[in-house]
Amino acid sequence: MNNFPLYDIDNVSFAYDTAMVLKDLCIKLQKGKFYGIVGPNGCGKTTFLDLLIGNKTPGSGSIFFKSKPLPSYRRRDLAHWISLVPQEFDTGFGYTVEEVVLMGRHPYIKRFGSPSAEDWNHVGRAMETIGISELKNRYTSELSGGQKQRAVVARALAQDTDVLIFDEATSSLDVKYTLQIFNVARKLVNKEDRTVIAVIHDLNLAAAYCDEIVFMKNGRIQQHGNTTKVMTPETIMNVFGVTTEVSLDPFSQTHQVSFQYWD
């Protein structure tokens, strides 16, 4: 392990026209960890992810990725390192599941080249891991929301990157597939030393799977640290304004959040 953080984000701010979205973010993200980004709607989580992917550039401050400024990377090279699983996916045209997963290999295929055997291997393996091999010839326009979402996860796996960024990627999945995707992500971190950065709405999922949690509120990082340290009733009250209790759940052996449901 080297000493450089994977991401070194220093004093980053970002504004849309006049509306300030992110303010003075300072954070270092390390390789081989599962990060959860948690916060109320509209607190700037998605914009933060866009900065990490390089889709947007900060108004001020700097982002270093692998100890080089993020904007100094060519977009295509960056796509070898970082993949995105977006929340929504729709293509207006009838691509098949296999074609969509193959698009994950786009950064590796030469402009006028065809997919290599290795590319097809990645595509096959990704579909198998997510369990959508039998859907491969189906048109994405015919799929249910959950099936589409799994195809997008498979596309990110086929992209074979060190960093995977999930933007509420499981919000349209039922509990079985949600756990499946999180288990796949967790294995990538544990066994292959990859890094997952996920925006998660479900605090219990975040508590169960993440090594570290970044709490955001009003465009600022409110709290960041080891999950067990920062997932506390005080932080949750501070960030979301709801009353909770956090305790070690004997069944899952993870810290879980109980909510006070009625006032």
Partner 1 sequence: MSKQSSKRFTILIMVLTLALLSGVVFSTGMGFISISAGEILRTVFSSLTNSPSLLDGIDTTIPYVVMDVRLPRILTATLVGAGLAMSGVIYQGILLNPLADPYTLGISSGAAFGASLALLANLTMFNQFSIPLFAFTGAVITLFIVIHLSTFNGQISANTLILSGVIVGAILSAGISFLKYLADEQVAIIIFWLMGSFISSSWSSVLTIAIAVLLGGMVTFYFGRDLNIISLGSRSSDALGVETAKVRIILLLTASFVTAICVAMTGIIGFIGLIVPHLMRFFVGPDNRKLLPVSAIAGGILLLSADTITRAVLPVEVPIGVLTALIGGPFFCVIFRKRQKRGRHE
Question: Which residues bind to partner 1, rule: CB under 8 A?
Answer: 16-17, 50, 53-56, 75-80, 82-84, 86, 88-95, 98-100, 102-104, 106-107, 109, 111, 115, 159, 165
d(CA 7, CA 200) in angstroms, rounded, equals 20
Query: C-beta of 169: minimal distance to partner 1 in Å?
Result: 12
Query: C-beta of 57: minimal distance to partner 1 in Å?
Result: 10
Query: C-beta of 35: minimal distance to partner 1 in Å?
Result: 17
In a 13 Å sphere around the CA of 97, the CA atoms on its Cβ side amount to 25
Q: Which is nearer to partner 1, 113 or 241 (CB)?
A: 113
Q: Which is nearer to partner 1, 163 or 216 (CB)?
A: 163
d(CA 102, CA 119) in angstroms, rounded, equals 8
Q: Which is nearer to partner 1, 132 or 207 (CB)?
A: 132
d(CA 256, CA 115) in angstroms, rounded, equals 45
Query: DSSP strand E in the chain: where?
Result: 7-16, 19-29, 34-38, 60-65, 68-69, 82-85, 163-167, 195-199, 212-217, 220-226, 244-249, 254-259
Q: Which is nearer to partner 1, 58 or 104 (CB)?
A: 104
Query: C-beta of 89: minimal distance to partner 1 in Å?
Result: 7
Query: C-beta of 6: minimal distance to partner 1 in Å?
Result: 17
d(CA 79, CA 107) in angstroms, rounded, equals 6
* Bridge partners of residue 28, in order along the sequence: 8
Give 229's contacts (C-beta < 8 A, 6+ positions apart). none
Q: Which is nearer to partner 1, 116 or 247 (CB)?
A: 116
